[in-house]
Amino acid sequence: MHRPPCRALNLLPASGRIGAYTDSAMTEQNTDPPEESLEHLRARAEAGDSEAQYNLGVAYAEGTSVPQDAAEAVRWYRLAADQGYTHAQFRFGLAYTLGLGVPQDAAEAVRWYRLAADQDLAEAQYSLGVSYANGFGVPQDAAEAARWYRLSADQGYAHAQFHLGDMYRQGVGVGQDDAEAVRWYRLSADQGYAHAQVSFGTMYAKGVGVPQDNAEAVRWFRLAAEQRDAEAQCNLGFMHTHGRGVPKDDAEAVRWFRLAAAQGATTAQVHLGVHYATGQGVPEDDVQAYMWFNLAASRLTGKERESAVRNRDRAADGLTPEQIAEAQRLAREWDAAHPR
């Protein structure tokens, strides 16, 4: 039975990204509007106060004291942005990136990010880095992405620190440098950013840029896993399976794999299938094994899918046609309850 290592322990970084707009980084930090009556806030906004215009936009974007209305949010953002209010420029750019209240337009997003970034807003600098990393609204340029990430990272922005660490780890846009990758991962991880905690833990697990230390790897994986990071949960399952940094404990491994599998992590689904097929940490159950292998195979491609299919077919060897139909039914029900 093929038991793959968790992806984050096999590849660095696990995601392979050097920036993504779907990242939770694409929301601002500490920008909640101050306590103020809606009437007073609106009066100040209508009188041309840019801060009030921005805060009223936030209220409409988040549905705070007013009905949620993306179009109304961007109307107020634009008024504040046109006056040079940096947070409004960033939010207006983000609206164009995501197509919230305005048509999606990457080039227009970049224009507004740049205005805010030139005023040293870390979130906007990070977003420009994402734009250059992915070629959204600008030509793809890894070196330029790294430059903007660094400006943001130097201000302590955790998401930028993480992605800058990725770039050093991969040697993309900067010279490959594991020690520098570790430095940026650590800064981001210390702020509680789960992706960085996974990558930092992986460096310890592999002994890359730091002395190899499984216990330290487990510590960082656990911090991220407790934030529901699926890669971290899968990695903890792997560490418990093999007794790396923690006592070998198949039942605990299954617990972590199940949490990751519930989030759609295909590697964890394969591991669960293996545990059910071999009866490690759970009672042996080929119906459950077939179900998990089948779910993973439906989401994987290439050689990984072929491996999951082979494991599924091995599990099927000990099943009756009725049991296979039951396993397929369970997989369909699980799939329906966990949309992709």
Buried b (16+ CB within 10 A) or exposed e, 173-190: bbeebbebbbbbbbbbbe
Query: Cα–Cα distances in Å, from 289 out to 6, 99, 234, 253, 333?
Result: 18, 42, 17, 15, 15
| Contact partners, residue 243, CB within 8 Å, separation at least 6 | 249
**Which pTM value belongs to this model?**
0.89
- Does residue 246 carry a pLDDT above 90? yes
Give a yes or no: residue 302 inside a domain.
no
Phi, psi of 95 (to 5 degrees): -60, -40
pLDDT for res 12: 30
Tens-place pLDDT, residues 146-193: 999 999 999 999 999 999 999 999 999 999 999 999 999 999 999 999
Give a yes or no: residue 65 inside a domain.
yes
pLDDT for res 75: 98
The span from the CA of 296 to the CA of 301, in Å, is: 10
Tens-place pLDDT, residues 83-104: 999 999 999 999 999 999 999 9
Give a yes or no: residue 172 inside a domain.
no
Give a yes or no: residue 261 inside a domain.
no
Return the H-helix or E-strand segment holding 289: helix 286-299
Give a yes or no: residue 136 inside a domain.
yes
DSSP states of 36-74: --HHHHHHHHHTT-HHHHHHHHHHHHHTSSS---HHHHH
The percentage of the chain sitting over the pLDDT mark of 70, rounded to a whole number, equals: 90
Q: Looking at residue 128, which CATH number applies to its domain?
A: 1.25.40.10
- Does residue 248 carry a pLDDT above 70? yes
Tens-place pLDDT, residues 113-144: 999 999 999 999 999 999 999 999 999 999 99
Give a yes or no: residue 120 inside a domain.
yes
Summarize the confidence of residues 69-77 as an average pLDDT. Answer: 97
Give the chain's mean pLDDT: 92
Give a yes or no: residue 182 inside a domain.
no
The span from the CA of 270 to the CA of 309, in Å, is: 10
The runs of H, that is alpha helices, within 135-265 are 142-153, 158-170, 178-189, 194-206, 214-225, 230-242, 250-261
Tens-place pLDDT, residues 21-65: 444 444 444 455 556 789 999 999 999 999 999 999 999 999 999
Q: How many domains does the chain have?
A: 1
pLDDT for res 10: 43
Least confident span in 1-10, 162-171, 250-259: 1-10
- Does residue 14 carry a pLDDT above 50? no
Give a yes or no: residue 27 inside a domain.
yes
Summarize the confidence of residues 324-336 as an average pLDDT. Answer: 95
Of the pLDDT bands very low, low, confident and very high (cuts 50, 70, 90), residue 19 is low
Tens-place pLDDT, residues 307-318: 999 999 999 998
* Domain range enclosing 105: 19-33+41-140
